[in-house]
């Protein structure tokens, strides 16, 4: 997958919002509306900051699973995943508030086996029911060792647009940018039960950089 967001400080999908706010601020200034110009100027800066696209030092650790997004770990559960894995799995949920970076990153090396978009509601992303009820986009990755990792972009109360650049069949690399969710959201990561977790509830994580877990080599376990 070509990482289309590399090398630019703001993701392309955010440029129209920044340009629109900046243009409105400039027009207000030209008309002599100083107060409105300052307000719109602030909105322009915030929008540019929201769509920021920072570089990350991706850890090169065999079997590492990195955070798919910036935010705070709000849940770690063992539960049955009925859509793709059809098995018990460990779920790590990360809540992204409006101040976090919203570029989403691939959690591990592997091949995309399936991508599925699900329309739904816009319940606050930090509520448990958001996992199944909210609008979301699921990315199913299979590693070279055979492990299956499900990464789900979940829209929230304010987020109304999920963007995914990845396509089924593509090989992806850990930490690679693959999409974003606009204005507040959540990432759910489903891992095999044998995965060794490195984080706990309440931990703050960085997308593409924080190691959430390490995958066991199931080919070795089968011997």
pLDDT of residue 131: 64
The residue with tokens 């070795």 is 220
Q: 93, 147, 173, 185: which one is catalytic?
A: 185
> Is residue 162 very low, low, confident or very high in pLDDT (cuts 50, 70, 90)?
confident
Q: Is the pLDDT of residue 222 over 50?
A: no
What distance in Å separates the CA atoms of residue 148 and residue 212, rounded to the nearest whole number?
Answer: 15
Choose among 136, 141, 150: nearest CA to 186.
136
Cα end-to-end distance, the chain, whole Å: 33
pLDDT of residue 73: 96
| Order of strands, sheet of 185-191, starting from the edge strand that comes earlier in the sequence | 171-172, 110-118, 136-142, 148-155, 185-191, 87-96, 71-81, 204-205
Query: Residue 222 region, left (φ>0) first, then alpha (ψ -120 to 50), else beta?
Result: alpha
pTM, whole model, 2 decimals? 0.82
DSSP 52: B
pLDDT of residue 112: 96
- If residue 34 lies in a helix (H) or strand (E), which one and from where to where? helix 34-50
What distance in Å separates the CA atoms of residue 18 and residue 41, rounded to the nearest whole number?
Answer: 10
Average pLDDT over residues 12-38: 87
Q: Is the pLDDT of residue 199 over 60?
A: yes
What distance in Å separates the CA atoms of residue 178 and residue 5, rounded to the nearest whole number?
Answer: 8
pLDDT of residue 16: 81
Average pLDDT, the chain: 85
pLDDT of residue 4: 53
Triad 193, 100, 133: Cα angle to 5°: 55
Choose among 42, 35, 1: nearest CA to 18.
42
Q: What is the pLDDT of residues 34-93, one digit of tens each?
A: 899 999 999 888 888 888 888 899 999 989 999 999 999 999 999 999 888 889 999 999
Choose among 36, 92, 89, 47: nearest CA to 69.
92
Active site residue 185: yes
CB 14 within 8 A of CB 45: no
Phi, psi of 39 (to 5 degrees): -65, -45
């Amino acid at each position: 997958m070509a990482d289309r967001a590399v090398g630019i400080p703001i993701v392309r999908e955010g440029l129209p919002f920044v340009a629109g706010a900046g243009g409105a601020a400039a027009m207000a200034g030209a008309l002599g509306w100083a107060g409105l110009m300052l307000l719109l100027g602030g909105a322009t800066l915030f929008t540019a900051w929201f769509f920021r696209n920072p570089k990350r030092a991706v850890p090169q650790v065999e079997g590492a699973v990195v955070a798919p997004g910036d935010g705070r770990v709000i849940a770690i559960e063992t539960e049955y995943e009925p859509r793709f894995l059809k098995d018990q799995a460990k779920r790590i949920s990360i809540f992204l508030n409006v101040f976090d970076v919203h570029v989403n990153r691939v959690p591990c090396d592997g091949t995309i086996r399936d991508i599925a978009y699900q329309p739904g509601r816009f319940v606050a992303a930090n509520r448990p029911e958001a996992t199944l009820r909210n609008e979301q986009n699921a990315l199913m990755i299979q590693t070279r060792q055979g492990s299956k990792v499900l990464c789900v972009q979940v829209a929230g109360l304010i987020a109304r647009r999920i963007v995914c650049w990845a396509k089924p069949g593509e090989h992806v690399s850990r930490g690679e940018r693959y999409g974003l969710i606009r204005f507040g959201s959540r990432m759910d990561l489903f891992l095999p039960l044998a995965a060794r977790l490195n984080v706990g509830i309440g931990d703050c994580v960085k997308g593409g950089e924080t190691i959430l877990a390490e995958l066991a080599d199931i080919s070795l376990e089968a011997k």
